[in-house]
Structure 1
Amino acid sequence: MTAAIQVSSQILNILLRYIDEEGIANADFRSRIEAAKSVDRISIEHWWGLLEELATLHPIPALGIQIGMRGEIQDAGILGYLAASCDSLVEAVARLQRFEPLLQNLSHSWVKIKQDHIYIGWEGSGNESTVLSNDVVVSGTLAFIRKLIGTQTFTPLEVELAGIPVDEQKEYERLLGCPVVITDDVLAMKLPLSMLQLSIDNSNPQLRLILEQQAESILATLPKPDEFLKDIQQHILNGLEVGQLSMKWLAGKLGISESSLYRKLSERGRSYQNLLDELRYQLAIRYIKNPDLSLTEISLMLGFSEHSAFTRAFKKWVGQTPLKYRNSFLKVDRNSIS
């Protein structure tokens, strides 16, 4: 992990709120949280350390879930206010994904539509972060959604959490109000598809425009992504256009040997196939939302030799065929406009 992995210091307000509400009197711990708030961002290790120290001071089951439940709109800083100014939850979710690095840059969130529900999850967090931090992310997101739609009774259909103690599963389910599935590395929430259409009471189009411009400006100042991975992604994009998808071809474009490419990817916890699938998935979601492109055309654009191969891959990524996903998206899109 490097110093470039950071979180917004605004999130520390959740810890202060928690220790105040629970009556945890530890002046030294509180002063160090306050000191950490004096800068805009803190390292991910600093955040993890404060959570672990709180767990030592207040060792209770599902602590991370209970901390996250204290989340407020303002704890997400400008991103929280931007989401609250949107017209609907689907618009807010789109802004949250776009500007998520303002809050944290450890992982990126994803949204997948599956029949009558959607999944909101975080790529890689399950095995890269800590259980405490993951729990805060999930319950904090749930608290955030509840604040946006103005109801504390909303509960997910199901939550998937990585590495939580089996003997605490029932407590997790009691707190979250839904079934909890224990996984090795998945961090996600299953929500009703209909929730995307819910309106936000504090919608303010003029404020949204101002906040979005500010968010873009701040985003431009944050640490940039790994340049090596960016180069690889660009070459894979070019390879898709010319029908070259082998690791040998990619290594040649990068001017290194295949073994060096393999080593550099391994150092980053990635693989060539993983990057190719990730890019194909992102492009597939974008292309499928364009009704002018046929599914056969999309499969060719993504470098699949047969449409059936694309269908199998997409079903593995999303859990349904490209056609069903397209129909589901178009249905939601029409409903959100009407």
Structure 2
Amino acid sequence: MPNYYSTLSGWLIPFSRAMESNGLNFQAECTECQISLTDLNNLESRLAADKLATLMRHCNQKLNRRDFATEVAKHFHPSMFHALGYAMMSSSSLHDALERLARYKRVVSNTCTIEMTEHDNDLLFEMHIDTYPDSKRPVLEACLVETFLATIVTFSRELVGSNMSPKMVKLTAAKPDIDDEYLEAFFNCPVEYACESNSLTFSREVADTKLMVGNTIITQIHEKILDELLNRIDKDDLIYLVKTIIYRELPMGAPSQNDIAKQLGMSLRNLQRKLVDKGTTYKDLLDTTRKKLALDYIRQQHISFSETGYLVGFASVSNFNRAFKRWTNKTPTEYRSSEM
């Protein structure tokens, strides 16, 4: 378990703008909430999640309202997500941007994980929030869940158009007795309470719309920065370490589980057990890593299909084509044409 649950201090950027636009003195209110601003200029500094929740409650109380979460979301700026914000901005679609957020979520916060699933004509963006081992209390208070989901919607509107709205918002929190209209007004869609998880549902048509700002090369540059940052944030994360080895060795062929275990200084059986404990397997990690890289390469017109297959560790083009068809239900040629 982490020593404490934290978020990037970049979250204070939209907080400060929302506070100032509502007549609150940012520095004075942070001091009152015992939040130090000395490290704010360091984009990699972190802030305890409980402190951010305290600041949110404090602002709602000062303003005698409940909607400060959406006020913060309205003042979102990509820089608050470090390089991840800019990697998302240069993604090929909203779907692609949200998957990138799910993959690099630990850069923003270690309080939850994000799962992306496709259901018929919908894309589900789902938060799984950690709980404290002793009390089982969620490490993110309801006000911060609202802030995060509202921020994702603001970011999505920046990418695909200001009129975009999710189809549904679900929250685990109980429906408040009064004053909950602000959420439906902000999201412009139904909001359900007391659900099993916190989530946003987007239509696939909206999520898969090609973005005019998409730039694969810029995205890859930012992902290198993010990979280095993740390495500093969480050097002991086994899944990250396994993926790092896979990324490095794929052009020479997919590494075996034995190779991975030896490089990590553990037995094959121990590696397999630890991955199962984390809800995954080596085969799943290899497959998702290959798919992610293949989609990035396919979007680059100057890289041939055979070279892409080689770069993601396939010995033959036919094997790569079969895997790509399984991943996307399209051939590489069909997929590249659809992205043009």
TM over 0.5: yes
Change (3 A) 1:52 1:209: same
1:215 to 204, 216, 226: 226
Provide the C-alpha distance between the structure 2 equivalents of 1:62 and 1:328, rounded to a whole number of angstroms: 41
The secondary structure found in structure 2 opposite 1:166 is coil
1:42 to 38, 47, 50: 47
2:84 to 79, 89, 96: 79
Change (3 A) 1:125 1:57: farther
Question: Residue 16 of structure 2 aligns with which residue?
Answer: 16
TM-score w.r.t. the length of structure 1 is 0.65
Asked if 1:163 is matched to 2:173, the reply is yes
Q: Offset of 1:98 from its aligned partner?
A: 1.8
Question: Residue 120 of structure 2 aligns with which residue?
Answer: 115
Within 5 Å, give how 1:226-305 maps onto structure 2: 278-279=279-280, 283=284
Q: Offset of 1:26 from its aligned partner?
A: 6.0
- Structure with larger RCO (C-alpha < 8 A, sep 6+): 1
1:133 to 144, 162, 177: 144
Provide the C-alpha distance between the structure 2 equivalents of 1:328 and 1:67, rounded to a whole number of angstroms: 37
The secondary structure found in structure 1 opposite 2:171 is strand
Q: Offset of 1:64 from its aligned partner?
A: 1.7
Asked if 1:88 is matched to 2:93, the reply is yes
Structure 2 unmatched ranges of 5 or more: 132-137, 242-256, 258-268, 271-275, 292-324
Change (3 A) 1:158 1:208: same
Q: Offset of 1:133 from its aligned partner?
A: 0.6
2:197 to 166, 186, 199: 186
Change (3 A) 1:121 1:142: same
Provide the C-alpha distance between the structure 2 equivalents of 1:26 and 1:8, rounded to a whole number of angstroms: 17
Q: Offset of 1:328 from its aligned partner?
A: 10
Question: Residue 176 of structure 1 aligns with which residue?
Answer: 187
CA deviations 1:39-96 (Å, max 9, x no partner) are 4212222222222222222231333233223212222121101111222223222321
The secondary structure found in structure 2 opposite 1:215 is helix
> Residues 4 and 223 of structure 1 are in contact (CA less than 8 Å); yes or no, is this contact kept in structure 2?
no
Within 5 Å, give how 1:196-207 maps onto structure 2: 196-207=207-218
> Residues 102 and 219 of structure 1 are in contact (CA less than 8 Å); yes or no, is this contact kept in structure 2?
yes
Q: What is the percentage of aligned positions where both structures have the same residue?
A: 14
Number of corresponding residues: 262
> Residues 8 and 108 of structure 2 are in contact (CA less than 8 Å); yes or no, is this contact kept in structure 1?
yes
Structure 1 unmatched ranges of 5 or more: 231-240, 242-252, 255-272, 291-325
Structure with bigger helix share is 1
Change (3 A) 1:47 1:204: same
Provide the C-alpha distance between the structure 2 equivalents of 1:19 and 1:33, rounded to a whole number of angstroms: 16
State the AA in 2 paired with 1:178.
Answer: C
Change (3 A) 1:125 1:51: farther
Divergent runs of 4+, >6 A: none
Taking only aligned residues, the RMSD between alpha carbons, in angstroms, comes to 3.7
Q: Offset of 1:20 from its aligned partner?
A: 1.5
Change (3 A) 1:47 1:158: same
Provide the C-alpha distance between the structure 1 equivalents of 2:26 and 2:222, rounded to a whole number of angstroms: 37
State the AA in 2 paired with 1:182.
Answer: Y
Asked if 1:153 is matched to 2:163, the reply is yes
Change (3 A) 1:136 1:215: same
TM-score w.r.t. the length of structure 2 is 0.65
State the AA in 2 paired with 1:7.
Answer: T
